[in-house]
């Protein structure tokens, strides 16, 4: 199971009446920390954890303290200080040197802190804001379009501090082309918790037995693809069919979609050929196109190329600077 919030919430939703549950949340950090404000994990009465609030070094102690929240029905507040010689995180030799503030909020049938609403929203790929009262057992979710800041922040209100966490569904990637080199793309994306849709009109390609991790496999590249992208909130696409005709047709259709980013496998001159075949000017495209696709990590095999492309997409979607520079394929 991935550490995506939607995956964690699905497990909780399916088992919430079977045992006790606690929501653990980082509500503040100082200095270096593995997770930032808004990071969440769920702990149940069997001692199982879903998600993580550190690199794995603090979880055992967090789970132990979660039992207190279950027993008392009250929020438990924790602080781990990597610079304090008497603190657990210092004694464990974690080395981050930062300070992490965590709250453990108990969940029950009468108060799920708004997690049901949050889970329902993520199932239909709806973004929003999640509010938690710091030090209390109150929380709620509000749907809203959100593509900006992803780190949680403290909002000062008359009744005290509230943690506000922007919620954005995990990325949904459309992969055009179901050849051999698409297999690791689907596998790695699945491991990351991303949603994947594979499309290829060729019967010999994109066979289900070769892509057991693919969320959906489509066979038509036509105008219905635009509706699919909108309905299923697809974020990005990779054109990797190894066919200029198929890539050109896909690009021509997808230019009417609301994709945020497109990657194209192959050297830059191939992108020019695809544009010419599609009869599209580059400036007419409503989204940025990474061509060659990916970040230069020196890879040559399908697995490395898949990692490179997904890294480039991750950087584009999360608005991080991709370093080193974009891959330089032979031109």
Averaged pLDDT, 263-288:
95
pLDDT of residue 269: 95
Residue-by-residue DSSP string for 43-58: EETTS-EEE-SSSSSS
Q: Which uninterrupted H or E stretch holds 100?
A: strand 99-107
Question: In angstroms, rounded to a whole number, what is the distance separating the alpha carbons of residues 292 and 290?
Answer: 6
Collect contacts of 190-199 with beta carbons under 8 A, ≥24 apart: 190/214, 191/2, 192/2, 192/4, 192/310, 193/2, 193/3, 193/4, 193/6, 193/7, 194/170, 195/170, 195/171, 195/232, 196/172, 197/172, 197/173, 197/228, 197/232, 197/234, 199/174, 199/175, 199/225, 199/250
pLDDT of residue 325: 33
pLDDT of residue 150: 77
Which tens digits make up the pLDDT trace of 20-30? 999 999 999 99
Q: What is the overall mean pLDDT for the chain?
A: 90
Which tens digits make up the pLDDT trace of 204-242? 999 999 999 999 999 999 999 999 999 999 999 999 999
pLDDT of residue 222: 95
Which tens digits make up the pLDDT trace of 58-107? 999 999 999 999 999 999 999 998 665 554 544 454 556 688 999 999 99
User: Does residue 326 sit in helix, strand or coil?
Assistant: strand
Residue-by-residue DSSP string for 122-156: HHTT--EEEEEETTSS-EEEEE----S--S-EEEE
Residue 145 pLDDT class (50, 70, 90 cuts): confident
Question: In angstroms, rounded to a whole number, what is the distance separating the alpha carbons of residues 297 and 40?
Answer: 31
Domain span(s) for CATH 3.40.50.720 in the chain: 172-317
pLDDT of residue 95: 52
Q: 327 Cβ partners below 8 Å, 6+ apart? A: 292, 293, 294, 295, 296, 297, 308, 312
pLDDT of residue 89: 46
Q: For the domain with range 172-317, which CATH number is right: 3.30.450.20, 3.30.565.10, 3.40.50.720, 2.102.10.10?
A: 3.40.50.720
Pairing of the two strands 216-218 and 195-199: parallel
Residue 57 pLDDT class (50, 70, 90 cuts): confident
pLDDT of residue 83: 61
pLDDT of residue 322: 34
């Amino acid at each position: 199971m991935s550490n995506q919030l939607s995956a964690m919430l699905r497990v909780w939703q399916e088992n919430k009446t079977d045992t006790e549950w606690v929501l653990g949340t980082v509500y503040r950090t100082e200095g270096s920390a593995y997770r930032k404000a808004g990071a969440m994990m769920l702990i149940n009465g069997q001692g199982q954890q879903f998600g993580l609030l550190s690199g794995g070094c603090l979880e055992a102690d967090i789970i132990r303290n979660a039992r207190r929240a279950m027993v008392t029905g009250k929020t438990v507040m924790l602080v781990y200080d990597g610079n304090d010689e008497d603190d657990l995180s210092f004694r464990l030799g974690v080395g981050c040197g930062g300070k992490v503030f965590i709250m453990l909020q108990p969940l029950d049938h009468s108060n799920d802190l708004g997690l049901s609403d949050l889970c329902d929203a993520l199932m239909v790929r709806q973004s929003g804001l999640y509010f938690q009262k710091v030090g209390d057992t109150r929380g709620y979710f509000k749907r809203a379009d959100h593509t900006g800041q992803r780190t949680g922040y403290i909002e000062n209100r008359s009744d005290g501090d509230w943690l506000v966490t922007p919620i954005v569904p995990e990325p949904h990637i459309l992969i055009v082309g179901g050849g051999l080199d698409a297999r690791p793309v689907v596998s790695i994306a699945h491991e990351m918790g991303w949603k994947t849709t594979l499309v290829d009109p060729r019967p010999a390609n994109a066979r289900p037995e070769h892509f057991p991790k693919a969320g959906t496999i489509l066979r038509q590249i036509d105008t219905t693809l635009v509706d699919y992208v909108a309905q299923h909130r697809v974020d990005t696409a990779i054109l990797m069919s190894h066919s200029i005709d198929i890539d050109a047709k896909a690009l021509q259709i997808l230019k009417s979609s609301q994709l945020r980013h497109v990657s194209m496998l192959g050297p830059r001159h191939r992108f020019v050929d695809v544009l010419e075949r599609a009869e599209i000017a580059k400036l007419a495209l409503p989204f940025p196109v990474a061509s060659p696709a990916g970040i230069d990590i020196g890879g040559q095999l399908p697995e490395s190329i898949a990692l490179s492309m997904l890294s480039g997409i991750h950087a584009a979607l999360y608005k991080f600077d991709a370093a080193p520079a974009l891959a330089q394929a032979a031109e």
